[in-house]
Amino acid sequence: MSRIKTLQDLFKRYRRPGDLVFAVFFMLFALFLLANLGTQTEWVKRTQLVAQPAFWPAVAVWGMAIFGALHLASSFISPRIPGRLAEVTFWLRSLEYVAWFLVYVLLVPQLGYLLSTVAFAVILTFRLGYRGGRMLGFAALTALAIVLLFKSFLQVKVPGGAIYEYLPGAMRSFMLTYF
């Protein structure tokens, strides 16, 4: 049985407590992109409209700004929902993983791609609450597979670790090339 009895029920949406905060930041970001659109794209003379380098980015950013403004307006006129601070705090908790990634990026040139990737996979697995040896081992094997895939098979250029300088000549060359 359907709970939808009227057209109003069909278009009713549940608003999260952080809806207004999201709408404000989304609108600010859209305005930032709109303000910088002219410096990031260009309109070329004697080119069809849809072939212009600036046409599709302009459509996307203008659409983002228009729909962002509509979202912001609807968030302002809707009733206030308690729990906004708790919702935004929940969002901000994800910034912890940005910090982990920045530390990882800083350590790769020091420890090398292999050691950094394995260490961070194991540390983050532990951080997420998987404390058993089986899961930590699986994280280490997954990290090793990632390193082999990107560095050895796809030959992605990742800076070698300063720690490799302490290895003997042939092993240092091998580690710099494949790990």
User: What percentage of the chain carries pLDDT values higher than 90?
Assistant: 50
Which pLDDT score is estimated for 70? Answer: 92
- pLDDT, tens only, 137-179: 999 999 999 999 998 889 888 888 888 888 888 888 888 777 7
Q: Tell me what the mean pLDDT of segment 85-96 comes to.
A: 89
Q: Tell me what the mean pLDDT of segment 78-87 comes to.
A: 81
Question: Residue written as tokens 């081992």?
Answer: 137
Question: Where in the chain are the domains?
Answer: 7-77, 94-178
Q: Tell me what the mean pLDDT of segment 71-92 comes to.
A: 85
Residue 52: pLDDT band with limits 50, 70, 90: confident
